[in-house]
Amino acid sequence: MASEQDIDRVPATGAGPEHSRRAGPERSRTAVVLLSGGLDSYTAAAIARSEGFRLSALTVRYGQRHAQEVAAARAVARWLGVERHVELDVDLSAFGGSSLTSDSPVPKDRAIDATDIPSTYVPARNTVFLSLALGWAEVLDAHDIVIGVNALDYSGYPDCRPEYIAAFETLASLATAKGVHGHAFRIHAPLQMLTKAEIIRKGIALNLDYGLTHSCYDPDPHGRPCGRCDSCALRAAGFAQAGVADPLLNR
């Protein structure tokens, strides 16, 4: 559940350098963006903002093993200048089934192109998150939801695939009062068919500060990335292929 202090946490001021330059009628559209504090969700949200959407951000505290990504989500939300940032408690650790929501060890040093689904997969997580975002979007009278899933440089999670996003978009229009009355919902997944390097280049073009983000599945007690989990490996490869230094490593 969202406590009062978690609602309207982030004002519309204090955004990144492009925020103040956008105004006018295109800013009337609202999108609910799932904001994890990671590189991908930050970039997806920034793309939506650049397309004229006003952003309402949802961060889910799902029982993940560390708090760094929630802190990163707050920093990213401030940079983006979201209109509202809700942090919602939905403790998936009660179910278990993932090394991200339990004390099970996080896989390290896996091949970057491994095809098996690793233990960091959280069962049905994106379905849970998108359902929450859909409920909030209906209340806000918003028809657009933004998620930073990627189906190229990723860990093989089934709920990142294009067919999954298309199926959920169909479900959204069947399962809501707004949908039944002809107001279709759209699930925006702008990074879906981009490599990690392409995502990073797109973010750099939008002047994003990737030093604010957090990707590691198993950081040390000070929040420093392990450098060996799938997420760290994919991030490192992406920055290397993009030909730029990762600003997070210099903080």
Confidence of residue 214 (pLDDT cuts 50, 70, 90): very high
Report the distance separating Cα 230 and Cα 178, nearest Å. 39
Report the distance separating Cα 82 and Cα 45, nearest Å. 9
For 141-153, write each residue's pLDDT tens digit. Answer: 999 999 999 988 6
Report the distance separating Cα 25 and Cα 29, nearest Å. 9
CATH of the domain at 80: 3.40.50.620
Q: pTM above 0.95?
A: no
Q: Tell me how many domains the chain contains.
A: 1
Q: Within its chain, how far is the Cα of 175 from the centroid?
A: 23
For 37-59, write each residue's pLDDT tens digit. Answer: 999 999 999 999 999 999 999 99
Report the distance separating Cα 145 and Cα 136, nearest Å. 10
Are residues 121 and 98 in contact, defined by beta-carbon separation less than 8 angstroms?
A: yes
Report the distance separating Cα 248 and Cα 251, nearest Å. 6
Pairing relation of β-strands 29-34 and 144-146? parallel
For 218-242, write each residue's pLDDT tens digit. Answer: 999 888 999 999 999 999 999 999 9
37 CB-contact burial (10 Å; exposed 0-12 / middle 13-18 / buried 19+):
buried
Q: What is the largest CA-CA distance in the chain?
A: 51
pLDDT of residue 2: 57
Output 209 or 5, whichever has higher pLDDT: 209
Output 28 or 117, whichever has higher pLDDT: 117
- Residue range(s) defining the domain that contains residue 189: 4-250
Joined together, the tokens standing for residue 64 give 């993940």
Report the distance separating Cα 103 and Cα 112, nearest Å. 23
